[in-house]
Chain A
Amino acid sequence: MALLELRDVTRRFGDFTAVDAVTLSIEAGEFFTLLGPSGCGKTTLLRMIAGFDVPDSGQILLDGQDIAGTPPEKRPIHTVFQSYALFPHMTVADNIAFPLKMSGKMPDEIKESVKKALEEVQLSRFSQRFPHELSGGQKQRVAFARGLINRPRLLLMDEPLGALDAKLREDMQRELIHLQKEVGITFIFVTHSQDEALALSQRIAVMNQGQIEQIGDPSVIYGSPANRFIADFIGKINLMEAHVTQISGQNMTLEIDKLGTTTLPFKPGIKTGDQGVVAIRPEQVGVHALASQAELTHAYTGKVLDFLYVGDVTTYIVELDCGIRMEALLANSSPGRARFFEVNDPVVVSWLPEAAHFLMD
């Protein structure tokens, strides 16, 4: 049985639907991420799981039990808030001890647990400080320690790393993965940052306008986005307008606007005449000198419009003869790489058919 199950959970504010028939299930021990642009309903969904808000319809089940009538304090679910929400009038130690006190643990036991928790997050020296005497990263660690000390079944995190600077965020990401493995508690992590979602999660649910668009592990979400929104939202991608002209056996033939026909593996559910886009990640696009055209499939000539060299990789923007612009990401480490292309160099752009996806509108 899934640890947490959402069935058609819907929440409306007036005539605006913030969370729209969300159905998903999360297994015990998972690191699950809700990813979506700001305002898509992530916080609203999290608040319903925590018990601060009530769905207008649908069910939330924990261990198969509907928890609609359970107040937040009775749910074995803790939240790490984006603002940390540390109690400003309590020391670090008292903040971390709070959940233990609420569950009626003995003072000796509380002291021992708090001491251990402080060591785990390397804050022993700061136990008697108040929240306003801590840095952002330290507050963050107190918030995690406080959320985890009672060993909840589920830890919810609402953009917990949003307020940290880039370097610290990366450290905290590593610490989070480590922490989750160590304590074995199920995490639901909310973020609008696709990098963060890809780096941290075992599974990702992509949300848009209150709905779940796709659920899958990071490589599926990144490698086979279910639709145009996801393709566009996650990572960089080349999108070319196209429609299906013919389906034959395992293959389908597409007409890409301006570029011409191409053949891709057939995907179920697609019919002749469907409109959509052909999507290819920049790192799947090859750029070659003009002479090598002969051996390549899906090869199109063009010229380099611009490039961005960032050390390990170079991004080329190539304008094809038909006018379409494509981005190509080339690693600078390959041994045979004799030269870079310069602006206005004539080049050949190519990709493998299985690297391209047809996404319906």
Chain B
Amino acid sequence: MKRPNLTLWLTASLVYTFLYIPLVIVVVYSFNDSRLNAEWVGFTLDWYYKLFRNEEMLLAARNSLIIAVSASLLATILGTMAGLAIHRFRLRFLPVLAFTPVAMPEILLGVSLLLFFLQVLNLTLGMISIIIAHTTFCIGFVAIIVRARLQGMDESIFEAARDLGATPWQTFRLITLPLIMPAVVAGALMSFTLSIDDFVITFFTKGVGEPILPIQIYTMIKIAVTPEVNAISTLFMLLTLVLIIIANRLDSGMLQGEKKS
């Protein structure tokens, strides 16, 4: 590998510092034995205890988890199907349809979904509307990852399966699905992280009922930045980090497999 030069090193360090200092501060203060985010007093787990006794916050976390799991499950199924269809049928409009929500500004998507739910579907806003909204913008991500995986593969593998006696369904179950599995799982994890921390679209489609985690945190901050917020943020970060690491592993693993075969 080439040795990066000094300027590059400096720039990179600066960028990473700016990126990570705030995060590090949040994590550190979540263990600080003081109500104020000002000086280090001593180590404590109090804020985490408090957090786990905060009914409202626990409810919000539960809701967010339900939404993220449902939305990522739905988005993974639909996005995988979309990715397969885009790859198979090579129609111009299909990719555009699936990928647009990825590129569209969230606020636009939020507004249009809100209008759609209220005026077209006559839906009462709540968990269901949030799940549908999150599924909508996650489908594109899953489809992109799955299609990228398919594009790198030798088409004749699927024909060989049919040729050797597998029905279309057997071909999908025994050949296609195992081969795109890393992409499917990566897509699911990505959908989960996108869904669980989404603020804008959630804000537009949540209605007045259930507390949702990112919005709950924002509401708390409006009152006062307590170390409790630091604690929940730290947990949040940890979860996201774990998922990103897993997704990354799968992704690089699948790239390696590609190179070998």
Measuring CB to CB, which residues of chain A are less than 8 angstroms from any residue of chain B? 50-52, 71-73, 77-79, 81-83, 85-89, 98-99, 102-103, 130-132, 146-147, 150
Contacts and interface: CB of A to CB of B under 8 A. Distances in A.
Given A77-B163, A79-B159, A85-B156, 16 more contacts: A50-B163, A52-B159, A71-B167, A73-B162, A73-B167, A81-B156, A83-B156, A85-B154, A85-B160, A86-B157, A87-B161, A98-B165, A98-B166, A99-B165, A102-B166, A132-B261
A72 B162 contact: yes
Given A73-B167, A102-B165, A102-B166, A79 B160 contact: yes
**Top 7 A-B pairs, shortest CB-CB distance:** A102-B165, A132-B260, A85-B160, A88-B261, A85-B156, A99-B164, A132-B261
Contact of B163 (A78, A82, A87, A103): A78
Contact of B157 (A50, A77, A87, A132): A87
B178 interface: yes
B239 interface: no
Q: Is the interface of B mostly helix, strand, loop or mixed?
A: helix
A309 B174 CA distance: 56
B179 interface: yes
Nearest to B162: A72
B161 A98 contact: yes
B48 to A, nearest CB: 43
Contacts of B166: 73, 98, 102
B165 A85 contact: no
Interface string B141-159: 0000000000000101101
Contacts of B161: 87, 98
26 contacts: A51-B163, A52-B159, A52-B163, A71-B167, A72-B159, A72-B162, A72-B163, A73-B162, A73-B163, A73-B164, A73-B166, A77-B163, A79-B160, A79-B163, A85-B154, A86-B157, A87-B157, A88-B261, A98-B165, A98-B166, A98-B174, A102-B164, A102-B165, A132-B257, A150-B164, A150-B165
Interface centre among A72, A77, A147 (most CB of B within 10 A): A72
A82 B159 CA distance: 12
B170 interface: yes
B162 A71 contact: yes
Contacts of B170: 102
B175 interface: yes
By size class, the interface of chain B is 20 to 34
Interface of B: 154, 156-157, 159-167, 170, 174-175, 178-179, 257, 260-261
A81 B164 CA distance: 12
Given A83-B156, A85-B156, A88-B157, A146 B261 contact: no
Contact of A78 (B164, B167, B174): B164
A102 B160 CA distance: 12
Contacts of B179: 88-89
A87 B170 CA distance: 14
Nearest to A52: B159
Nearest to A89: B178
A71 B164 CA distance: 11
Contact of A146 (B156, B157, B164): B164
Contacts of A51: 162-163
A54 B174 CA distance: 25
A81 B160 contact: yes
Contacts of A77: 163
A131 B261 contact: yes
B129 to A, nearest CB: 39
A87 B166 CA distance: 13
B163 to A, nearest CB: 5
Nearest to B259: A132
Interface centre among B154, B157, B160, B167 (most CB of A within 10 A): B160
A83 B167 CA distance: 22
Contacts of A78: 163-164
A42 to B, nearest CB: 15
A178 B178 CA distance: 36
A53 to B, nearest CB: 10
